[in-house]
Amino acid sequence: MPTTTPPPAPRLIPLWLKIAYTAFVAVLVPYYWRAYGPLNFLFFCDVALLLTLPAIWLEHRLLISMQAVAILVGQTVWVVDFVLHLVAGGSPLHMTDYMFDPAYPLFTRGLSSFHGWMPFLLLYLLHRLGYDPRAFRWQAALGVSLLLVCYFFTPPPPAPTPGSVVNVNYVYGIGEQEPQRWMHPHAWVGLLLIGFPLVIYWPTHRLLGRLFGPRAADARRVGSGVPPADAETRGEASVARRRLPTSAPAAPAPPPPVTPPPAAQRTHGTRPPSAARPTSPPPAGRAAAAS
């Protein structure tokens, strides 16, 4: 009997968005590489920009969830700082001062605008694909590893030349002019290794789990004609077992047909007991003679 192949699941992210995102990254990467060097791609925001590229094509929930855990807090602060500049003419955080500095080319500032729309893109992707609860532990491992790499292999401030990348991910302090003097450098980076997972990643993970968790995502996927994602890959074995379709109990087999016994048949030289002839009375004349 020929087997039928199920139709492929419909894509949840539109093709035009994938192409537009790919084109943006294809322009930004060579420009940033030439302008700032490879160390620039160790910043959390740039790592998220690069990892989202394969994730958006593969519609990979775990990779997208990891990037959301990593940068939503920081990029939201960037957006707030940018809006304050637009409304009030400045911000005490000074994160986006360069976006309003005419010394920087407009094209460069346009590329850097991804800090503003990236968090909204990640939220949209989570809305379409759902949040993977494994993202916290994977991003915690990636974030800690990246901080250690930046601490041991990237230069501290100040920058030797204008435009040089220093103090990647603030492993030497908040400012870019000189390292922090509040505590020993090892103690500072130790605080970052603890603070990023507990203060930034964990609350973000909990919030995204409530907003885009498995149940909400499954409801959206079913509404889009896509089967619910496998709960086992989300670490929800018990939920998966409860969601397994239960087959209807098999109907009892019908009783075998009752075959009536064969009719009694005569056998040669014998007569059935029920067929014995009755004894008829003798004629009246013979009865009188006999008496």
208-249 pLDDT, tens digit per residue, is 999 998 766 566 556 656 555 544 344 444 434 444 454 555
Of all residues in the chain, what percent carry a pLDDT higher than 70?
70
- Number of Cα atoms under 13 Å in the Cβ half of residue 217: 26
How confident is the model over 109-166, as pLDDT tens digits?
A: 999 999 999 999 999 999 999 999 999 999 999 999 999 999 999 999 998 887 789 9
**Does a structural domain hold residue 248?**
no
In order, the DSSP letters of 127-187 are HHH---TTHHHHHHHHHHHHHHHHHHHSPPSSPSSTT---SGGGTT-S-SSS---SS-HHH
**Does a structural domain hold residue 184?**
yes
Question: Is the CB of residue 135 less than 8 Å from the CB of residue 65?
Answer: yes
Domain limits at 216?
Answer: 17-230
Range with the poorest average pLDDT among 11-15, 26-30, 229-233: 229-233
Q: What is the pTM of this model?
A: 0.72
Best CA proximity match to 172, nearest among 152, 145, 201: 152
Quote helix, strand, coil % in the chain, to nearest 5.
Answer: 60, 0, 40
**Does a structural domain hold residue 242?**
no
As a whole number of angstroms, the distance between CA 79 and CA 64 comes to 20
Domains: count for the chain:
1
Query: Token match 């990348």: residue?
Result: 165
Question: Is the CB of residue 161 less than 8 Å from the CB of residue 146?
Answer: no
Q: How far apart are the first and last CA of the chain?
A: 92
**Does a structural domain hold residue 277?**
no
Question: Is the CB of residue 66 less than 8 Å from the CB of residue 135?
Answer: yes
